[in-house]
Structure 1
Amino acid sequence: MSPQRNTGAGAEAELPEYAGHYRLRECLGSGGMGVVHLAHSTSGMKVAVKVVHARFALDPEFRGRFRQEVAAARRVSGAFTAPVVDADPEAERPWMATLFIPGSTLAEHVKRNGPMRSGELRRLMAGLAEALRDIHRVGVVHRDLKPSNVLLAEDGPKVIDFGISRPKDSELRTETGKLIGTPPFMAPEQFRRPREVGPAADVFALGSVMVHAATGRGPFDSDSPYVVAYQVVHDEPDLTGVPDNLAPLVSRCLAKEPEGRPTPDELMRELRSVAASYDTQSFIPAQRSLWGGETDPAGTGDAAGPPVSAAPGASDASAAPDASAAPVAPAAPVVPVAPDEPSGAESERVDEEAVRETDKRPGRWARVRSGLRGRRGRVAFTAGALVVVLAGGALGVTRLLGHDDAGRGVRGGAAGSHSASPAFSPWSTRPAKAGKGAGAAGTGGMPLCASAAKRLLCAQSGLVSALDADDGRVLWRHALADGDRPSEAPVLAGGLALVVTHSGRLVEALDPASGATRWQQDLSGYGSLRAVGDTLLLTAADKTVTGVSATTGEKIWSRLIPGLNEPYFTTFPGDPLAYAASVSDDGHTRITAVDPATGKVRWKARLGGALRLVGTTAGSAVLLSQGDAYGTVDAVVRYDPADGAARRVPLGITLQEAQAAVHGDRVYLLAFDGTLAAVDTAAGQQVWSLQTAVSRGSAPASDGGHVYFSAADGRLLAVDADDGRLLGQTTLRLGAHSDRVVATLPAPAAVGGRVYAGAPDGTVFAVDGRDPAGW
């Protein structure tokens, strides 16, 4: 194959065919330092390769800067940047390869679509604040944050191009009189004292980027870079067109002096307050169509986790609480309804007509009875000022299939308290069929599933389906309006399967036996929704919490709950209560346990330190101690409301961005870097840890004998719960788009001796949980 040619004259007109062993396919763009190519590795993985301009390759200073760029990019490689795959700064033409992430830059998006809407702006600002937090915590200052260096990926913004970034411990110095950066997005100190530029300069640039995203121009605007430089140093920014609820925060970012600007953590705290006034959806770290008219190219439809929380410095979490109450008896189990099941074709016809019926009168309750059309209930209560946010709890994908026996207080044998049917055989099914609910490559994206008796209820892009848990057969499919993507796995409550979509801000209650719609509700007036038992909890802008019957969709109660500063609830399988937890500015964590049937507070506590609630067991709450404001976990805390005792169990090593599963007295934590650890809260010690080498894995799940988790390449892994040995793993299930990264993976679950999981190739599969070595 002859080398590809670029336009123009000189050395850059003839592009190399390879950079290392990466074959260059096409030019993606060119900048001041080099050309970025789309390339393929030997195995076919897509990467973006930056090859430096030939004229710079002979410049020793440039090579030094390129080595610095590679080092900086490797330091911060993670969820908010394009991970570095390979690099050779010493090659004849130095190059660096990063994972290829589809998506336009912010500059391209604004040029093509115009200014962003307020909800998109807040999501962008939250994502950039998280990115800067990760960049700064490893000691790197980007120094050139601008719209062309912000990639709008499907799972949130990515900060790219560390060409002039500088680690704090770098020996490379800026030459006297030389300014480096892009004037409209440079901080005043970059013009006045460039050698003293620190993290606050990136926050200033973030403010400028936000003005560009909101208006299509910068806060300091001129055709002359010299005029812009003067304005940056001396003039006030022009924030005309920036939404009123974001303008004060953007203005603080653009303070002339570095000490007057908020830190990324303070930005995230402030954005939570902004979210409470109009839009909390973006604090779900989930894949979604973030950027207006753009859609999810991978059709992953993933969602996850609790709202972002910037925690103050932790103190001793064993501090005595200020209140407690007796534990609560379990509620009666939910009994699913089971009407006569129609054929698959009839189910799909019912679904499509229900969608059409809903579209006629948006924003109202729509009660659709089996076999009937057009019969509606009246609005039971009015909407407030918020849209729905689903974070953790019963609607969280960290419990993909929901029934991992968390909170039962018993550790079972190899397969827990269940045993698999002797006739069971492993199976794999792709629920989405071509042309119906299919995303990229016709897969429908990553399935998000929940178990319901002998069925799995799975949500994908444009589709909800039911599978036979024994053999994986598709029992029915339910089309969503306009190919909408559910934000979470279906949740079984009140005998119905509840599905919440992204663009429609809609909760739809489906009959799990037939897929027929029983009722619908527009959620655009509510800030959070949680389902537990037979009740939905909806929170409005004024912090009023309303209990709604999951069976009928009718209001049961509505009230302000005393002492509930942040009414975002979390729920856990097998626990009849809903929990709200928040960290105060003085470094304490307040927990409020609420009875969803009545809205009454069952117990509350105030604990020392910044804590994150991750589960319950035997009436006790299990929390993770945040060692710093960056998500570092240094201990597990078990709090018993019956006697007010809080027991802190330190970890052997700190874990970054750990996800957790609670099974009896054991807590299993999987960190961002693949470290898996087990803590025994009764014995008060960490019992083992294992480096799995699986970065960005799913939340773990356990049946008592094993710990299971999924990798981004579709593998399901099993570890011995007693000693931490890796026992087995399934094959890869990457699908056609193996170059795309799934930001958040749904957790697997062990049910009845079987383990169910979803994969990026759009499949749902089941394996025998008793024999991981045979996978």
Structure 2
Amino acid sequence: MAPQHNTGAGAEAELPEYAGHYRLESRLGSGGMGVVHRAQSASGMTLAVKVVHTEFAKDPEFRGRFRQEVAAARRVSGAFTAPVVDADPDAERPWMATLFIPGPTLAQEVKRNGPMAPAQLRRLMAGLAEALRDIHRVGVVHRDLKPSNVLLAEDGPKVIDFGISRPKDSELRTETGKLIGTPPFMAPEQFRRPREVGPAADIFALGSVLVHAATGRGPFDSDSPYVVAYQVVHDEPDLTGVPENLAPLIVRCLAKEPEDRPTPDELMRELRSVAASYDTQAFIPAQRTGDEPRAEPRADGPGRRPAARFRRRSAVLAGAVGLIAGGVFASMQLLPDDTRPASSAGPATSSPGSGTWEASPVSEDAGTPQCSYGDDKLLCAQPGEVYALSPSDGTLLWRRSVAKARRVDPPVLSGGLVQVTTDEEHRVEALDPESGMTRWQRDLPTHTSMGYADDMLLLGHADGRLTGVDSASGDTRWSRRMSGQKSPSLASFAGDPSMYATTMSDDGSSTRVSAVDPGTGEVRWAARLEGGLQPVGSGDGSVYFLSLDTVYYDTGAVVRYTPESEKSRRVALPVTREGVHAGVYGDRVYLVAAGGSLEAFDLGTGKRLWQLETAVPRGSTPVADGDHVYVTAPDGRLLAVSAADGDLLGQTPPRLGANADRVPPALPEPLTANAHIYASAPDGTVFSVNARNPSAW
């Protein structure tokens, strides 16, 4: 892998000098979660050091995932992986050092030089089968085998990146709010039954990787991950161009049911029987679609995909019952090509007098708007843009350009001003709610948590200090150290005058919770509660928490704590849920889990009221108004569910837009006001629907 020297602007453009004792020399590559550097040890050993992005380093959930990656990589370290030399998941910026392996990734090799020759292909398949055998022998399932995670070293392929690996006997399969796996290389059970994913899923991925190596594309091919998900679950693979004597093995690898796929040992035995046949190889002829001409083969033999690629005439539209229940993407149906076009930036369109409208103030390329409600306006942000809309008809009231950030949070109305976090959460800019003009701005120290309550901005520092900043002026009003609370996390809730600072114990056995007066920094009450807890809401004198597994941050219970009586009520979930978002209304807590489960718990009676499998892979935080519970889906749908019994009452159409392959890092919560629900979608639209009649959506 050729080194890439650091270029460009941004908070991490300058190369850090060291990770632990290892000097970082040049940048090898970058991904969504971290940067990989070429490094040297004191003795001169060349290493590859993965350093986590600053924005994730302060996220306890991500640190848990990184610890799991280090553990999995160490567990399988051997001949077919990059051996782990050292790691520090607890560093200010967590890092892991592995032995540097010269050579391109399979993805780079195919992109530069085209499909592999037959003999290379067989050796690749044998090497990856051996690698999976060793990985599975130590009880690990990789779950993200793909061309970019295969290094082509001189002594054979090496499997890297165990960031979403899990022990195969673990009940902990995904992480909050993240796309788990890469759709063209995921097995059907990763969409249908994500909690049942085992070693056979890696065999399915192996088959897809081999098709890519043989042809330059995958066996399931579309620009939209939602369409790919449908194809993986329901369609037969396209093996155009795959060598004929390897095709039967690859077909078995791509079997829809895990039990029908071969084991790595079976693959290696069968590969030995075909090894001698490569000099007289035939190839599967190109597929034909109607009058489409057959592609000419390359000089070295493999048939190529037709120049006009075979594409399914399809779009995705979710129905009330998903075709892929509990998977990673929303449910889908195939429709003709007359579905609604992707909207573009322009004026709002509305139904006269109904308050139902949709608007696209910014180009759809900017992704999903993140919005809040305040000062009788919808306040929205997209990368580089902040704007205000009229809630009655979607009219654009003002728009302001701001510095781009990798992650965009909804603006917050505090101190009478619109508070916007920019520059990778290192700066707060306060805007006039009537004009969008800047009233003040303030740079923030790195590695701080932040939250707004009672017209104050509170900052939590790594040394345990809290700082109170006046939201109206940007001036610091107070600073104090929290006893026993290093690096406190901060949370506040509508209608509650307190800010809650929480710190888990190192072993996850307890959580220190302090209710802080935002105006003075005085502690109103403090308690040490059992377990690893995350506050999710408050009301009627109580605070509500999720009880988390502190390794994988899965949810095992919901907890209510009442400080006046100093009593807690804990209600266990029937099964541990992963990737949970929670909303509170009265004494009820609503949970949306990564697999699509929506559940309601009554903390007054200590009972679970109902459960609905929505087929929404990872919904937003649920929002309730007493009669309904609302959830936003990754494809832009808004769902309404009966708060009484969990019945699905209605949903809006999907709004994917032109960038259907993008998965937003965070889904916006629905907003309730004026008897309407406001939501936003990946095609860049913000829209309003009538809350009283979800069946008409």
Please point out which of 447, 469, 478 is paired with 2:400: 478
TM-score by structure 1 length?
0.49
1:424 and 2:354 correspond: yes
CA displacement at 1:743 relative to structure 2: 3.7
For the residue of structure 1 that corresponds to 2:53, the secondary structure is helix
Please point out which of 50, 53, 56 is paired with 1:120: 53
Residues 463 and 487, structure 2, Cα contact 8 Å, conserved in 1: no
Partner of 2:594: 672
Residues 565 and 582, structure 1, Cα contact 8 Å, conserved in 2: yes
Partner of 1:361: none
Residues 445 and 760, structure 1, Cα contact 8 Å, conserved in 2: yes
The CA distance in 2 between the partners of 1:645 and 1:462, in whole Å, is 46
Residues 634 and 650, structure 1, Cα contact 8 Å, conserved in 2: yes
Partner of 1:560: 481
Partner of 2:408: 487
CA displacement at 1:704 relative to structure 2: 1.0
- Deviation per residue, 1:94-124 (Å, 9 max, x gap): xxxxxxxxx979999869xx99896638959
Please point out which of 604, 611, 614 is paired with 2:526: 604
Residues 561 and 600, structure 1, Cα contact 8 Å, conserved in 2: no
Give the structure with the larger strand fraction.
Answer: 2
2:503 partner letter: S
1:37-52 equivalences in 2 (<5 Å): none
Partner of 2:538: 616
CA displacement at 1:145 relative to structure 2: 5.6
The CA distance in 1 between the partners of 2:513 and 2:155, in whole Å, is 52
- Deviation per residue, 1:451-495 (Å, 9 max, x gap): 1132101000110000001000001010113x4456311011111
Please point out which of 580, 585, 588 is paired with 1:658: 580
Q: Percent identity?
A: 40
1:629 partner letter: V
Distance 1:135 1:567, change over 3 A: closer
2:388 partner letter: A
Residues 613 and 624, structure 1, Cα contact 8 Å, conserved in 2: yes
2:488 partner letter: P
| Structure 2: gaps (5+ residues) | 1-29, 39-46, 84-94, 96-104, 107-124, 168-174, 180-222, 225-350
For the residue of structure 1 that corresponds to 2:551, the secondary structure is coil
For the residue of structure 1 that corresponds to 2:366, the secondary structure is coil
The CA distance in 2 between the partners of 1:520 and 1:133, in whole Å, is 38
1:451-466 equivalences in 2 (<5 Å): 451-466=373-388
- Deviation per residue, 1:709-766 (Å, 9 max, x gap): 0111110000000011100000110001223323421111211211011100000000
Distance 1:624 1:123, change over 3 A: closer
1:577 partner letter: S
Partner of 1:502: 423
- Deviation per residue, 1:652-686 (Å, 9 max, x gap): 34322211100001111111111111111112211
Partner of 1:513: 434
The CA distance in 2 between the partners of 1:626 and 1:532, in whole Å, is 25
CA displacement at 1:525 relative to structure 2: 4.7
For the residue of structure 2 that corresponds to 1:773, the secondary structure is helix
The CA distance in 1 between the partners of 2:372 and 2:596, in whole Å, is 25
* Greater mean alpha carbon deviation, residues 556-565 or residues 626-635: 626-635
For the residue of structure 1 that corresponds to 2:502, the secondary structure is strand
Residues 508 and 532, structure 2, Cα contact 8 Å, conserved in 1: no
The CA distance in 2 between the partners of 1:525 and 1:182, in whole Å, is 44
2:456 partner letter: T
For the residue of structure 1 that corresponds to 2:399, the secondary structure is strand
2:442 partner letter: Q
* Greater mean alpha carbon deviation, residues 585-594 or residues 483-492: 483-492
The CA distance in 2 between the partners of 1:535 and 1:666, in whole Å, is 28
The CA distance in 1 between the partners of 2:457 and 2:432, in whole Å, is 17
CA displacement at 1:179 relative to structure 2: 10
Residues 564 and 592, structure 1, Cα contact 8 Å, conserved in 2: no
Please point out which of 537, 546, 558 is paired with 2:467: 546
1:716 and 2:638 correspond: yes
For the residue of structure 2 that corresponds to 1:472, the secondary structure is coil
Q: What's the C-alpha RMSD, in Å, of the aligned pairs?
A: 4.7
1:324-473 equivalences in 2 (<5 Å): 423-432=353-362, 438=363, 442-473=364-395
Partner of 1:571: 492
Residues 64 and 552, structure 2, Cα contact 8 Å, conserved in 1: no
1:741 and 2:663 correspond: yes
CA displacement at 1:562 relative to structure 2: 2.0
Residues 538 and 584, structure 2, Cα contact 8 Å, conserved in 1: yes
2:624 partner letter: S
Partner of 1:693: 615
Residues 460 and 486, structure 1, Cα contact 8 Å, conserved in 2: no
Partner of 1:130: 65
The CA distance in 2 between the partners of 1:104 and 1:583, in whole Å, is 29
Residues 554 and 578, structure 2, Cα contact 8 Å, conserved in 1: yes
Please point out which of 730, 733, 753 is paired with 2:675: 753
Residues 504 and 512, structure 2, Cα contact 8 Å, conserved in 1: yes
Residues 129 and 264, structure 1, Cα contact 8 Å, conserved in 2: no
1:81-480 equivalences in 2 (<5 Å): 120=53, 123=56, 130=65, 133=68, 197-199=138-140, 423-432=353-362, 438=363, 442-480=364-402
Distance 1:537 1:738, change over 3 A: same
Partner of 1:258: none
* Greater mean alpha carbon deviation, residues 729-738 or residues 609-618: 609-618
Residues 37 and 50, structure 2, Cα contact 8 Å, conserved in 1: no
1:562 partner letter: S
Residues 486 and 502, structure 1, Cα contact 8 Å, conserved in 2: no
Partner of 2:501: 580
CA displacement at 1:422 relative to structure 2: 11
The CA distance in 2 between the partners of 1:644 and 1:534, in whole Å, is 28
TM-score by structure 2 length?
0.54
Distance 1:518 1:712, change over 3 A: same
For the residue of structure 1 that corresponds to 2:537, the secondary structure is strand
2:498 partner letter: L
1:534 partner letter: D
The CA distance in 1 between the partners of 2:562 and 2:77, in whole Å, is 45
Residues 459 and 486, structure 1, Cα contact 8 Å, conserved in 2: no
The CA distance in 2 between the partners of 1:657 and 1:284, in whole Å, is 4
